[in-house]
Homo-oligomer: A and B are copies of this chain.
Amino acid sequence: MGVSGSGKSTVGNLLSQTLNIPFFDGDDFHTKSNIDKMSSGIPLNDEDRYDWLITLNKLAKEQLVNNSCIIVCSALKQSYREILGADIQNKVKWVHLVGSFEQILGRLNKRADHFMSSALLKSQFDTLENPENALEINTRLKLKDIVEKIKETLEMKSEFGLFGLGVMGKSLCRNLAQKGFKISLFNREVKGSEESIAVNFKNSFKELEGAKPFNDIEAFVNSLQKPRKIMLMVNAGKITDMVIEDLIPFLSEGDVLIDGGNSNYIKTKERYDYLKTKRIHFIGVGVSGGEEGALKGPSIMSGGNRKTYDVIKPYLEGIAAKDANGLPCCTYVGEEGSGHFVKMVHNGIEYVEMQLLAEVYTIFKTMGKNPNEIADIFESWKEKANSYLLGITVDILRMKDGEDWLVDKILDKAGNKGTGNWTIIATANLGAPSTLVASALFSRYISFYKEERLKANKNFNSNTSELKLNPEDFLSSYQFARIINHYQGLKLILEAGKAYKWNLNLSEIARIWTNGCIIKSDFMGELISILKEDENILNHKSIIDELKRFKPSINKIVAACVLKELPVPCLSESVNFLNAYTTANSSANIIQAQRDYFGAHTYQRIDDASGKFYHTKWKKQTN
């Protein structure tokens, strides 16, 4: 299908020879009355076309009995295509030859035997209703390539492969299939533990009807159109390297591997470099949203070569969540492992958001409130500080386990999956003070030493006494700490961008975090425009005003918790951070003097702007 001049007949003829199946030009099947009408210069109306379209539909059905065939027809309207494909919807493969108006007009006017007025072509473009499920092929491509591409599609090769059917992999498959992408799925076969996973999964969901399941790597790779686009959804680390090695023998030059796992950004760069030597493209993609996000639309952060990104962009943008303006929450972040870096920081911010809610919960609990009462308070916060994590915490607190609250039955030993640790490592390597992620991470570590804690609790007779605090101060404290958390996360990304020479757009990163991901929140939406004005949100007037407004509350809450011996590391740290950050003259002069004293590390002076380094022969200490 396609407008006049898109090259349907030429392509159809060559394809017919290539596939060795009959070719039919739709124009040859008009009724006598239609031919008469057209000969008289009267344009056909939809009624005139009806019988003709029925004829072509009949032709297709007849041909299908034995084999298949190629029929060309402009088929500009959806209603025409419905008639053409009636009763054989699942067997018809639409190929739409597309080109711009200027492009097609140019092509037509080059033809010696043909003339079409600009107005006539314009009416065709006006009539054209783009089909949803057609293979779109740009007429600018070489004839040979057009035919090859159609051949691959007709041979039912898949557009996109997904390797690894864990929680996230499965959800992404369903998402891709729901968006109409033709996909191949792979999961390894391990006797006794992982059997027939791909087949069973495909059979469990209607949308996977057209998907092809595999447990053989070679067959999986060969089922894909070239250049192959394979997304790995396997455990980060050594498994990823092993899977890449397993795939390499079957890949061809120009194929694209997409690592959708939570890989370390440094490893992503190494894998990119390694695969380059094999002429395989590699893109590291951070996918956030958990199981539900992956299914309904995750937030996707892609890093690597931009041209390679463009090859996979339609798929990633197709499955991504949509922001408030309907744009996909998916972007090209930058070179190398920048996608995975940004995903890592996302998780760091997530650690803190979770910890803050846990700390506030603890205070409320100590004040004698039950989970449902705490959920009511959190519920009331949605108006001013809504976020996905706040929402799920409300659900969690309301969940019962028989007569009890389920949350009271959960063992308080928190796990972590690596990205929290990596954030701290990155922060140490880059010299950015991510104090809140550190506090949140360490809180999980401390929680992990449950047995030591129980012993210490006895040894120290720790029993937090009753707390009386003003309820209004809590929301302000929570909001204060969240701002500092977002500042620190963005600062870490900014420092990485400088250090690795990635050209990052913080506002765009905030935008793709407004939906689909775990840290989506109303505040994230506000950050889009704030970050356009200044990459340092602590320079922004509205943020400064808010922090000033919230500060007295969090000061009170933290001081009260310290006096009552309640651990609130993240809340405390957010206060200490801003206090340090807004200190014009810090105590680091003492540190510098000490370093110079014992290690001759030298120091600079406030009264010498040249930055010269001084060393003092300090008096010998006498102790």
0/1 per residue, A425-465, Cβ < 8 Å to B? Answer: 10111011111001101111111110011111101101000
Contacts A438-B438, A599-B290: A407 and B591 contacting too (C-beta < 8 A)? no
Most buried by B among A395, A417, A441: A395
Q: A407-B590, A559-B562 are in contact. Are A618 and B438 (CB under 8 A)?
A: no
CB neighbours (8 Å) of A167 from chain B are: 599-600
Q: Are A424 and B415 in contact (CB under 8 A)?
A: no
Q: Which residues of B lie under 8 Å from residue A607 when comparing CB positions?
A: 409
Asked if A587 is at the interface of the complex by the 8 Å CB criterion, the answer is yes
Query: When A290-B599, A580-B569 are in contact, do A621 and B391 touch as well, CB less than 8 Å?
Result: yes
Residue of B nearest to A416 (CB): B431
CB neighbors of B among A537-594 (8 A): 538-539, 544, 547-548, 551, 555-556, 558-560, 562-563, 565-569, 572-573, 575-594
C-alpha gap A391/B598 in the complex (Å): 11
- Asked if residues A388 and B621 are in contact (CB atoms below 8 Å), the reply is yes
Query: How far, in angstroms, from A581 to B447 measured CA to CA in the complex?
Result: 8
Measured between beta carbons, the chain B residues less than 8 angstroms from A442 are 433-435, 438
Residues of B within 8 A of A606 (CB): 409-412
A279 in the interface, Cβ–Cβ < 8 Å? no
Given contacts A460-B582, A559-B563, A410 and B621 within 8 Å (CB-CB):
no
Q: Which residue of B lies closest to A606 (CB)?
A: B411
The distance in angstroms between the C-alpha atoms of A94 and B576, with both chains bound, is 65
User: Does B581 lie within 8 Å of A453, measured CB to CB?
Assistant: yes
* Copies of this chain, whole number: 2
Looking at the complex, which of A155-163, A175-183, A323-331, A351-359 is the stretch in contact with chain B? A351-359
B558 touches A562 (CB 8 A): yes
Partner of A565, one of B290, B386, B579: B579
Q: Which B residues lie within 8 Å of A621 (CB)?
A: 388, 391-392, 394-395
Which single residue of chain B is at the shortest CB-CB distance from A614? B410
- List, in ascending order, chain B residues with CB within 8 A of A407's CB: 589-590, 593
CB pair A411–B443 under 8 Å, yes or no, is: no
Q: Quick one: closest B residue to A411, CB to CB? A: B604
State how many residues of chain A have any CB contact under 8 Å with chain B. 130
Q: Is the CB of B460 within 8 A of A547?
A: yes
Determine if A49 is an interface residue (Cβ-Cβ < 8 Å).
Answer: no
Most buried by B among A444, A551, A580: A580
Query: Known contacts A539-B459, A619-B395: does B412 contact A588 (CB below 8 Å)?
Result: yes
Q: A433-B446, A586-B446, A600-B290 are in contact. Are A573 and B569 (CB under 8 A)?
A: yes
| A538, B443: Cβ atoms closer than 8 Å | no
Q: In the complex the two chains form, what is the Cα distance from A362 to B588 in whole Å?
A: 10
Contact call B290/A594, Cβ cutoff below 8 A: no
For A431, give the chain B residue with the smallest CB separation.
B445
- A-B pairs with the 4 shortest C-beta distances? A447-B588, A567-B580, A358-B587, A391-B621
List 16 extra interface pairs beyond A358-B591, A396-B594, CB under 8 A: A167-B599, A290-B600, A388-B623, A395-B621, A396-B593, A411-B606, A412-B587, A421-B429, A443-B588, A446-B586, A447-B580, A449-B581, A555-B563, A556-B563, A567-B583, A569-B580
